[in-house]
Amino acid sequence: MPLFGRKKSRSSSSSSSSGTLDFSEVKLGKAVGAGRSGSTFSAHWNGRHVAAKVVDLSATSKKKVASALRHPNIVQFLGSASAPPRYCLVFEFMEGGTLAALVRAKSKAPLDFFRLANDMAQGMSYLHEHSVMHRDLKSSNVLLDAQGTAKISDFGLSCVMEVGRSADRTAETGTYGWMAPEVIRHEPYSSKADVYSFAVVMWELLAKDIPFKGQTPMQTAMAVAEHQMRPALPRNTPPKIAELIEHCWNQDPTRRPDFSAIVKVLPFVKQTLSKTDFKNAGILYTA
């Protein structure tokens, strides 16, 4: 039985915005991360442990995106503060760190593949329903709270778009190992580029490794865009999980499912697995 049939739209939930904070009230601690859009610090604000991302004032568009979003699987934006030339975005602090650190931990303990995949798909479905494309989805941009819930973070490259439509966006954005072939080739691309990236993150949950490890960025780009290569799925990957991933990283973006469909199909995929399948694939078994 194929995983995906006809697509149906889903109504979106309401969003809310947050206000402006006093920069002097945001007490920065140690740096906990750095990216192309700024550095993130452990911080305290209003008696609360938070994460503060310090960026240039020119990056105010990130606030416009983040402040309009509120969902259990999106890192919560609390407010912004400015003290030129610095601009600070304050988010909830995620005690569990990055998904990247979890999947590449030395313990190699079984991961709750379906919970994590569902968390990410729910968050991404919400973003797309609110006309936001992430454009840099990868395990290091997925954070975990104290309970292990995965939340989408880092909207430094996000943009407002018409969901599902290939618009006049041809600039190369993202990280090569997770980047869709049409983005690498500087072709018009749509929200389905995020679905491709999601497939690579699902691969990470199974392989517990870096996609195209040992290859240069240029080698990775050529492999994906010109030779239609993908990271090799682990030998014990259950067939229906493999089918889901292959749908999501299809070379043809129009044949990739949307996130609302992925959310619906994940429970079905889980039901096809036996306890032995979970064990062999290194996936935490849950009823």
- Residues with active-site annotation: 136
* Identity of the amino acid at 3: L
d(CA 246, CA 239): 10
Is 53 known to sit in a ligand binding site? yes
Helix or strand holding residue 55 (H, E): strand 48-56
d(CA 154, CA 140): 9
Contacts of 130 (CB under 8 A, 6+ apart): 12, 15, 68, 69
* Identity of the amino acid at 7: K
d(CA 233, CA 245): 9
d(CA 61, CA 57): 9
> Dihedral sign, CA of 8, 125, 162, 252?
negative
Show the tokens assigned to 171: 């600039």
Contact 110, 284 (CB under 8 A): yes
Contact 4, 30 (CB under 8 A): no
Contacts of 68 (CB under 8 A, 6+ apart): 15, 17, 130
Q: Rounded to the nearest 10 degrees, how much is the dihedral formed by the CA atoms of 114, 116, 117, 122? A: 120
Q: Rounded to the nearest 10 degrees, how much is the dihedral formed by the CA atoms of 187, 192, 196, 198? A: 140
Contact 40, 52 (CB under 8 A): yes
- Please report, in range form, the residues annotated as the binding site: 53
Binding-site positions for ATP: 53
